Amino acid sequence: MSSSLHDNPVREAPSTPFDNSYARLPQQFFAEQAPTPVREPRLIKFNAALARDLGLDAEALERDGAAIFSGNKPLPGAQPLAMAYAGHQFGSFVPQLGDGRAILLGEVVDRHGRRRDIQLKGAGPTPFSRRGDGRAALGPVLREYIVSEAMHALGIPTTRALAAVTTGEPVYREDVLPGAVFTRVAASHIRVGTFQFFAARGDTDNLRILADHVIDRHYPDIKDRKNRYLALLEAVAERQASLIARWLHVGFIHGVMNTDNMTVSGETIDFGPCAFMDAYDPATVFSSIDRQGRYAYANQPGIGQWNLARLGETLLPLIDPTLDTAVDLANTVIKGYGERFQGHWLAGMRAKIGLGDEDDGDLDLIQSLLAVMQQGQADFSLTFRRLTALAASDEAETAFAASFTDPQSIMPWLARWRERLSRESRSAAERPSAMRRINPAFIPRNHRIEQAIQAAMEDDDFSLFEALLTVLAKPYEDQPAFAPYAEPPRPAERVLQTFCGT
């Protein structure tokens, strides 16, 4: 069960089965750094189900959660460290970034045999803080908790939320805000920027150690390949193509796809100025720091390829000793990314409109729907969910058409869609349930997240936060009690900008 607000007495820290492979890498990979204690920690949320999945003692962790997840109480076996990495930020390369407000406690091997990182965000300054305070505000912590758990429930690879605590201390940004610490779980926190850190220093030895570590941890099936480092680039390309396609299928906009925010494991990471699109527009941008629209919704596939090219550059000396040969081999993988992405995206979009077979005209059919949605300012998620209802019953046509500013504008497309469905091998009876599995009824609407954050910060009221977590845990199910959460915002509720958590 998950906790609600309460304080916890300090007891002996529970035993945690850490096995810290990253801490065994050379010292250039990280800086040892303990969390900085906070004044008055309070546990606001603990994900007991995830803790049990990690093989942890959930009851003991929850009992002392305020002290443990604030960083006040060390866990036996933890080897806290801040990871070193570089990165392209909005296209400009920074040779040293690193964990400026995050501290990796260590790694555990979960009940399924998967190695998982446990990290505190907002746990105090590190050698990579670059004059920052290393702290996090409550709002970004709640946003990351909500969105990361929602992404998991949607079936999209993502980092997870284990806990959130308030610190009892203020953080100073443009305003004075309540401080908080977020506990994040990931397959790993190794990024494209981690490779860039060593490549920028010409440190091929540590670059090879890093690549071998990633292969052992994430891609053991390629370990014996003739050119394992080219195979690594291919494997990362495949996971990123699949991941970004799945973002687009649910209208997700990451907001800050810098190379230091792209994991080599293929998980979504760093939910700062992220958002889910309401009315469909491929040029949609929410991030307040993305002033040129570099990371707009429709630009995300291309940015994924650009980031992959930066990874490929770092691997060149490992791929082949002859530079021209290495470049040619890497470029083949990078050029093939577009086809990989298109395959994943088209397969998902076919499923969203109820198609199980492939037809040469499917891409045009999908693009035509998106064009009418953009012109008609149709809500992305609601349109596909109502199309799912229409696949079950013609009586749902009026509600579906009402998604568009001009309901008649969608009628020609509906005629084409029905004709296409008539040529499907799958029975009409099977179609609605298949569509419900890919078209969510509930997404983390931006205005709902903001309402939950404001209630928590202004009134110490976490009821809206808890309600969001409840409904978003089952995004594909009809939940009549939460029906308003499926609706787009009214004009006065629209959130036009989201902000970075730093």
Residues marked as catalytic: 260
Helix (H) or strand (E) holding 105: strand 102-109
Cβ of 493: how many Cβ atoms within 10 Å? 15
Q: Which two tokens stand for residue 324?
A: 């021209």
CA distance 11 to 429: 57
**Alpha-helical runs (H) found in 133-292:** 138-154, 192-199, 204-218, 228-249
Q: Which two tokens stand for residue 107?
A: 């790694």
Beta bridge partners of 6: 43
Rounded to 5 degrees, φ, ψ at 475 are -70, -25
Contact 250, 277 (CB under 8 A): no
Helix (H) or strand (E) holding 7: none
CA distance 461 to 178: 13
Q: Which two tokens stand for residue 157?
A: 């690879």
Q: What is the dihedral of CA 284, 286, 288, 294, to 10 degrees?
A: -40
Cβ of 202: how many Cβ atoms within 10 Å? 9
**Alpha-helical runs (H) found in 256-322:** 300-319
CA distance 342 to 227: 26
**Alpha-helical runs (H) found in 376-430:** 380-392, 397-401, 411-421
Residues whose CB is less than 8 angstroms from the CB of residue 22 and which lie 6 or more positions away in sequence, other chains included: 29, 30, 81, 83, 104, 107, 117, 188, 213
